[in-house]
Structures are given as structure tokens and as C-alpha cells.
């Protein structure tokens, strides 16, 4: 038994080392005074200070946040509405649409990037922040739909019927009954959309124009000349944003559950 | 119970594609009545309830509630409320908010709403649970919230869909009595759907037996139990012995019904002719069990003997293929493999039709 336990612990530790060692090293080296990524000389905030004075990077960071927030809000709203519609109504070709939804998920990113670019060219849409936002909405919506739909499927039909029965019209039923109950799916869909948008390189690469550089694109161009400590610092900051978003989403979810179970 | 018709179903029919769920049913339900729609699962009883609440649209026919034709009225606007089988409470709202929901939707003034909610909570004995969430409540408590949420609307009709089904037996018995009390106290009309005959018999003023989308019999619980119109009902309600007989002799008052070569039974004559082949029903508790031969009795051998405290259940074999279920109070009168004589008072024999029926 004891031996088994030991073996299990070693296994778990190796998994975590494998998963998190690279990230850990990146964070450590972002505080390294030496310019080389080989030895750790002493602790410094130098690279973070440098980042703050780098206007190109700040611009790129601003763009990334604007794109992530806008595309998340729009894709969450559209995705939720689509999921509710697909769940509630039966119409001709519903199965076909259901399978169409998954195409942006399974299609190679590079293909999606090229197709979006050709569409933009066709309609003479100027490449910039708007074009990136539209592209991000395109690949985020299927994730939101999938996530919302799983909570909708778990929702009993009786509950909405009870709401109609008690005199609530369709809008009030959605607002007071359906939406609060599918909120976990909406939140996890939104979180997914946000993180996907934050770190997207390929599709942004194709749909970005002059002056609409995003952080991942910036990092990509920076490492062409070798990994410098300021890239480490920048990546650490991005990591921080994603961790904050994921944690707050998890906290919101567990609060909702706790609120219900607190008095049990 | 007064004679005002509150809910009236006029020739209602519901089809899903080719499948007929409700087949041309007409039914008047009176104000203050406890009416039960009783039938096996899939007989269409829940669908009838859903057409009254408006959650299901009719294929044909009309529905009147309190004199108003509501056939094409949205469920949101119908003045009836439903207690769902699953209770369908809103899990993200407290008990108070659940009960308040309908009042909020109808924009009832806050003072009035508060008073009504308090009354409803008191009525279903849920004081102190106002701030709980449904998942924190037991099945019985959830049931009470569902009832409170319905009655707080003060509509005249409450529809209950297999509402006690998910509760355990003891709680079910308690709730049956409470529900009946509540209904009388409020003077509301309850339309109750169940497949449980015990529930139907204990609570209802009238029972409508539904089978294959039609009403087979509509009557008081006593009459349904004593004088079932069809073999289906006799079999569905309570325990029963149903078998074939042939009329051998008739007088003005009585007829002699032959069961087999050795046994005949005297029954009341109702214009029977010699040679009529009929189906009869004998309830297990109608027999008087004797050890010695008596007139007008059936001879048989006790094949099975089960003692359960209050009554003793016997299976008496009259001949091959005819085994009668017999319930007796005196557990000591016989034992297994005894030969016994079962006397049946002629007025307890129920004729439920001719043999070629069905």
C-alpha cells in the first residue's frame, strides 16, 4: 500500500513538473538581472520598468484587451441567444446547423485565418482592430454555444413551463428563470472566449492591419531576435491577466453554488 | 360542492401526428370540487391537464374556465395554476421568492403580496423556511412550496400533476389528507392527475377513469369501486376477481349463475335470460368463509395463505384456471390446503357486462 502511494505521488509530481516548470522558469527569469536566460544573477524589476516605457508594447496590450473584451461580450451574447434558440425551437435543417456550428472549432486555424482575410479583401474591409474583433467573435461563438447548451440541456422543461403558468411572459421567463439558471454555462463560455482571444496568434496574424498589433503578435515578432528578459516579463503579465480572469470566474461560480448550499 | 360548472371541456381532442392522445372528451368540473383523472401511464391524463393549463394546444374542441372560452388563450393569461410532478421550483430563488414569483409577474402591490405570501406559507406550514433555497428542502417541503406558489395566486382552479408520486409512502398518506383539507378550506377546485388508485379513492369527490384517451367512467369513488362499468376499471381499482358465468335458471327476483360443473351462484336478476353469458366481479372482501357447506357458496381449496396483521389474504382454487383472491379478518378459521366454502351475498355480486365485450 505504502509503496503504491509513493508511486502515485511521484507520478502526480512529475505531471505537475512537466506542466508548470516551463511557466515557472519563465516567471523566474522575468525577474533576472542578467540578460542571459542561463544564470540567475539577482532579483530585479528592471524588465517590467522597461516594458512600461515601451509605447509599442503598451499600445499592443491595450489592443489585446479591447479585442478580448469586445469579442467576448459580443460572442457571449450571440452564442447564448443561438444556444437558447437551438434548444427551444424545432425547425427544418436544425441538425445540419448543429453540425455547422462545430466547423470553426475543428477547422485548422490557419485555414480560418486565410478565409477571413479573403472575405475582408472581398468586402474591402480595412484590416485593423475591427477585423480582428470580427475574426475572434467567429471562432469564439461555437465555444459559447457548446458551453451554454450543456447547461440548457440539464435544465428541466418543467421549470420554464412553471414560469409561464405563473403568468410570466417569454421575456420575463428568460430573464428571471432561464438566464440565471444557465449562467454557469454563460460564464464558462465567456471565460473560454476571453482566454482564446487573449492568446490567439494565427488568426490575428492574418487579420491584423497596421497599428492593430496585439500582444501575442508582438511577442512573436520579438522572439525572432532571440528571447529577451522583457519578453519573459511581458509573458508573465499576460499570464497574470489570464489567471485573474479564470480565478474570478471560478470564484463567481463557487459563490453561486455556496449561496445555495450554505444553509443546508 | 355547489353546481356551478367552473371548468368545462367540450369535445376536446389532441393528436400528435397520427397518434390520438385525447379522443373527444367532454367533462364538466364543478366549483369547489376535487376531481381526479385516474388512469394507467400513457392514457392521456396528464395531457388533459396540460390542455387546461394551456401548456398544450388542442387539436379540436373547446375549453371554458369560469364561463370564458380559453381555448386560444396563452398559458400566461389563464387563471389556473399547475403543481408539476417534479415540483418545478426555481432552484435559484428562495422559498419566499418562489412563492412571490407569480405575484411579481402579475404586478400585485407589495403590501398585498406580502400578506398573501405569509398566509400561504402559514397554510402549508413552512414558517421559518422563507430564506431557504429549494435544494435545501426535503421532498415534502418542496411539495409544500409548490402548493403555496400555486394557491397564492388565488385562482379558482389548481391543477395537480401526479403531485404526491415522488414522496415516500408515509409522507404521501399525510399529504393526501392535508391536500384534501386544504382544498376544502380554500374552496378551490382541484383537478388531480394520478395513476395511484388509493390516492384517487381517498381524496376525490369524483373520479374520471381515463383509458386510451377516453373517459371510461365518471363517478364518485364509492360507485367506481362498487359498480365499475368495465372489466378494465374493476381490475384497475382495487383487487378483483373477474370471471365468466352462464345463466342457468331465472325467477322474478333471482337468477342462478353457473361457474363450473360443481358451483353456482345466486344473483339478483336484471332481465337476464337463460343461456346469457356474463362477466362478473367479486371483490376479495365480499366473501364469507365457512368450513362447512352453506347454501349459495363456492367450494374451493386454500392454495395460499398470507397473514399481514390486519387481514389475511387467501388464494382459493375453485377449479383449474379459476383461483379467487379472498380477504378475511379471522386469521384462525382455516389454513393451507383446507377445503372451504365461500358464501357470497347476492347483492355483492357485480355484473360488468357480457363476455363478448372487449
Flag if A263 and B81 touch (Cβ within 8 Å): no
CATH at B140: 3.40.50.300
For CA atoms B277, B278, B282, B287, the dihedral sign is: negative
Please say if the pLDDT value at position B49 is more than 80: yes
Q: What is the pLDDT of residues B247-284, one digit of tens each?
A: 888 888 888 888 888 888 888 888 888 888 888 899 99
Q: What is the pLDDT of residues B279-298, one digit of tens each?
A: 889 999 888 888 888 888 88
pLDDT for res B1: 44
pTM of the model: 0.80
pLDDT for res A78: 96
Domain end position, chosen among B215, B236, B257? B236
Quick one: closest CA in A to B151, which residue? A166
Q: Which residue has the cell 512537466?
A: A18
* Pair B203, B288 in one domain: no
* Pair B78, B51 in one domain: yes
* Pair B52, B154 in one domain: yes
Contacts of B143 in chain A (CB under 8 A): none
Flag if A165 and B75 touch (Cβ within 8 Å): yes
* Pair B245, B213 in one domain: no
Q: What is the pLDDT of residues B65-108, one digit of tens each?
A: 998 999 999 999 999 999 999 899 999 999 999 999 999 999 99
Neighbours of B354 (CB within 10 A): 12
- Number of structural domains, chain B? 2
* Pair B329, B231 in one domain: no
- For A45-64, the DSSP string reads -HHHHHHHH-HHHHHHHHHH
Dist CA A27 CA B143 (whole Å)? 56
Flag if B76 and A260 touch (Cβ within 8 Å): no
Flag if B131 and A263 touch (Cβ within 8 Å): yes
Query: Is A258 within 8 Å of chain B by CB?
Result: no
Please say if the pLDDT value at position A26 is more than 70: yes
pLDDT band at A1 (very low <50, low <70, confident <90, very high): low
| CATH 1.10.3720.10, domain A46-261, yes or no | yes
* Pair B32, B156 in one domain: yes
* Pair B117, B215 in one domain: yes
Dist CA A182 CA A174 (whole Å)? 10
Q: What is the DSSP letter of A223?
A: G
**Percent with pLDDT over 90 in chain A:** 45
* Pair B226, B265 in one domain: no
* Pair B32, B116 in one domain: yes
Q: What is the pLDDT of residues A55-101, one digit of tens each?
A: 888 888 889 999 999 999 999 999 999 999 998 888 888 888 888 88
Flag if B91 and A181 touch (Cβ within 8 Å): yes
* Pair B186, B321 in one domain: no
Give the pLDDT mean for B121-143.
90
Please say if the pLDDT value at position A236 is more than 60: yes
Q: A179 to chain B nearest CA, in Å?
A: 11
Q: A174 to chain B nearest CA, in Å?
A: 12
Query: Is A252 within 8 Å of chain B by CB?
Result: no
Q: Dihedrals φ, ψ of A7, to 5°?
A: -60, -40
Domain end position, chosen among B193, B215, B236? B236
Q: B274 lies in which domain range?
A: 241-354
User: So where are chain A's domains?
Assistant: 46-261
Please say if the pLDDT value at position A263 is more than 50: no
Please say if the pLDDT value at position A260 is more than 80: no
Helix (H) or strand (E) holding B322: strand B322-328
Taking CB atoms and an 8 Å cut-off, how many pairs form between chains A and B? 73
Dist CA B92 CA B98 (whole Å)? 9
What Å distances lie between residue A88 and A77, A94, A178, CA to CA? 17, 11, 11
Q: Render the burial of B337-346: b for 16+ CB within 10 Å, e for the rest.
A: eeebbbbbee
Q: What is the pLDDT of residues A158-168, one digit of tens each?
A: 999 999 999 99
pLDDT for res B358: 44
Query: Is A154 within 8 Å of chain B by CB?
Result: no
* Pair B66, B198 in one domain: yes
Average pLDDT, chain B: 89
Angle subtended by helix axes B169-186 and B139-151, to nearest 10: 20
**Longest CA pairwise span in chain B (Å):** 77
Query: Is B57 within 8 Å of chain A by CB?
Result: no
Contacts of B184 (CB under 8 A, 6+ apart): none
Query: Is B46 within 8 Å of chain A by CB?
Result: no
* Pair B221, B301 in one domain: no
Please say if the pLDDT value at position B164 is more than 90: no
Contacts of A181 in chain B (CB under 8 A): 90-92
Contacts of B335 (CB under 8 A, 6+ apart): B302, B305
Please say if the pLDDT value at position B187 is more than 80: yes
pLDDT band at A220 (very low <50, low <70, confident <90, very high): confident
Q: B139 to chain A nearest CA, in Å?
A: 14
Flag if B149 and A161 touch (Cβ within 8 Å): no
Q: What is the pLDDT of residues A169-205, one digit of tens each?
A: 999 999 999 999 999 999 999 999 999 999 899 999 9
pLDDT band at A264 (very low <50, low <70, confident <90, very high): very low
> B2-6, B67-71, B115-119 — which is least confidently predicted?
B2-6
- For residues B210 and A36, which has the higher predicted lDDT (pLDDT)? B210
Flag if B102 and A156 touch (Cβ within 8 Å): no
Smallest Cβ–Cβ distance between B101 and the set A156, A166, A180 belongs to A166
Quick one: closest CA in A to B136, which residue? A264
- For residues B356 and B155, which has the higher predicted lDDT (pLDDT)? B155
Neighbours of A51 (CB within 10 A): 19
Helices (H), chain A: 2-29, 46-53, 55-88, 94-101, 103-106, 109-122, 129-153, 157-165, 170-173, 179-198, 202-207, 215-222, 229-261
Flag if A169 and B88 touch (Cβ within 8 Å): no
Flag if A263 and B149 touch (Cβ within 8 Å): no
pLDDT for res A138: 93
pLDDT for res B2: 52
pLDDT for res A261: 59
Q: B153 to chain A nearest CA, in Å?
A: 8
Flag if B153 and A166 touch (Cβ within 8 Å): yes
Please say if the pLDDT value at position B355 is more than 80: no
Quick one: closest CA in A to B146, which residue? A162
Q: For this complex, say whether ipTM is above 0.85.
A: no
Quick one: closest CA in B to A177, which residue? B90
Amino acid at each position: 500500500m505504502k509503496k503504491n502511494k509513493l508511486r502515485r505521488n511521484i507520478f502526480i509530481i512529475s505531471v505537475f513538473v512537466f506542466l508548470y516548470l516551463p511557466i515557472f522558469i519563465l516567471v523566474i527569469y522575468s525577474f533576472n538581472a542578467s540578460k542571459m536566460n542561463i544564470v540567475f544573477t539577482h532579483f530585479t524589476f528592471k524588465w517590467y520598468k522597461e516594458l512600461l516605457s515601451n509605447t509599442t508594447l503598451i499600445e499592443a496590450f491595450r489592443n489585446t484587451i479591447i479585442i478580448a473584451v469586445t469579442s467576448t461580450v459580443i460572442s457571449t451574447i450571440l452564442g447564448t441567444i443561438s444556444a437558447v434558440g437551438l434548444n427551444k425551437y424545432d425547425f427544418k435543417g436544425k441538425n445540419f446547423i448543429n453540425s455547422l456550428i462545430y466547423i470553426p472549432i475543428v477547422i485548422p486555424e490557419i485555414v480560418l485565418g486565410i478565409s477571413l482575410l479573403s472575405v475582408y479583401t472581398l468586402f474591402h474591409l480595412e484590416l485593423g482592430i475591427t477585423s480582428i474583433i470580427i475574426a475572434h467573435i467567429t471562432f469564439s461563438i461555437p465555444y459559447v454555444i457548446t458551453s451554454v447548451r450543456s447547461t440548457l440541456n440539464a435544465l428541466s422543461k418543467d421549470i420554464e413551463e412553471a414560469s409561464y403558468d405563473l403568468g410570466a411572459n417569454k421575456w420575463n421567463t428568460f430573464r428571471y428563470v432561464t438566464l440565471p439558471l444557465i449562467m454557469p454555462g454563460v460564464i464558462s463560455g465567456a471565460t473560454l472566449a476571453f482566454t482564446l482571444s487573449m492568446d490567439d496568434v494565427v488568426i490575428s496574424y492574418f487579420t491584423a492591419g497596421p497599428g492593430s498589433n496585439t500582444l501575442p503578435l508582438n511577442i512573436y515578432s520579438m522572439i525572432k531576435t532571440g528571447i529577451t528578459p522583457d519578453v519573459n516579463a511581458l509573458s508573465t503579465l499576460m499570464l497574470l491577466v489570464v489567471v485573474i480572469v479564470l480565478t474570478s470566474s471560478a470564484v463567481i461560480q463557487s459563490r453561486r453554488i455556496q449561496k445555495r448550499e450554505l444553509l443546508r | 360542492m355547489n353546481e356551478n360548472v367552473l371548468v368545462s371541456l367540450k369535445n376536446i381532442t389532441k393528436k400528435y401526428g397520427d397518434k390520438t392522445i385525447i379522443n373527444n372528451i367532454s367533462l364538466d368540473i364543478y366549483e369547489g370540487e376535487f376531481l381526479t383523472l385516474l388512469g394507467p401511464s400513457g392514457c392521456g391524463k396528464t395531457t388533459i391537464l396540460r390542455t387546461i393549463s394551456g401548456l398544450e394546444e388542442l387539436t379540436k374542441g373547446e375549453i371554458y374556465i369560469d364561463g370564458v372560452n380559453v381555448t386560444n388563450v396563452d398559458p400566461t393569461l389563464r387563471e389556473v395554476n399547475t403543481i408539476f410532478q417534479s415540483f418545478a421550483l426555481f432552484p435559484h430563488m428562495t422559498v419566499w421568492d418562489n412563492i412571490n414569483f407569480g405575484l411579481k409577474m402579475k404586478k400585485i402591490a407589495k403590501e398585498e403580496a406580502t400578506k398573501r405570501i405569509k398566509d400561504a406559507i402559514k397554510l402549508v406550514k413552512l414558517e421559518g423556511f422563507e430564506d431557504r433555497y429549494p435544494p435545501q428542502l426535503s421532498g415534502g417541503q418542496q411539495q409544500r412550496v409548490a402548493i403555496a406558489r400555486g394557491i397564492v395566486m388565488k385562482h379558482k382552479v389548481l391543477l395537480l400533476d401526479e403531485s404526491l408520486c415522488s414522496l415516500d409512502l408515509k409522507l404521501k398518506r399525510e399529504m393526501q389528507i392535508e391536500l384534501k383539507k386544504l382544498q376544502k378550506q380554500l374552496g378551490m377546485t382541484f383537478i388531480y392527475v394520478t395513476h395511484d388508485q388509493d390516492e384517487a379513492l381517498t381524496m376525490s369527490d369524483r373520479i374520471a377513469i381515463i383509458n386510451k384517451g377516453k373517459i371510461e367512467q365518471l363517478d364518485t369513488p364509492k360507485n367506481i369501486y362498487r359498480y365499475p362499468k368495465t372489466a378494465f376499471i374493476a381490475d384497475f381499482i382495487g383487487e378483483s376477481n373477474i370471471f365468466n358465468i352462464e345463466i342457468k335458471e331465472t325467477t322474478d327476483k333471482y337468477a342462478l349463475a353457473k361457474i363450473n360443473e360443481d358451483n353456482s351462484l345466486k344473483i339478483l336478476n336484471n332481465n337476464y335470460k337463460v343461456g346469457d353469458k356474463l362477466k362478473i366481479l367479486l371483490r376479495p372482501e365480499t366473501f364469507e368463509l365457512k368450513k362447512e357447506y352453506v347454501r349459495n357458496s363456492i367450494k374451493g381449496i386454500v392454495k395460499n395463505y398470507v397473514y399481514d396483521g390486519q387481514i389475511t389474504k387467501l388464494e382459493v382454487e375453485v377449479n383449474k384456471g379459476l383461483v379467487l383472491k379472498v380477504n378475511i379478518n379471522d386469521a384462525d378459521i382455516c389454513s393451507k390446503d383446507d377445503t372451504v366454502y365461500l358464501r357470497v351475498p347476492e347483492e355483492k355480486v357485480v355484473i360488468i357486462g357480457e363476455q363478448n365485450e372487449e
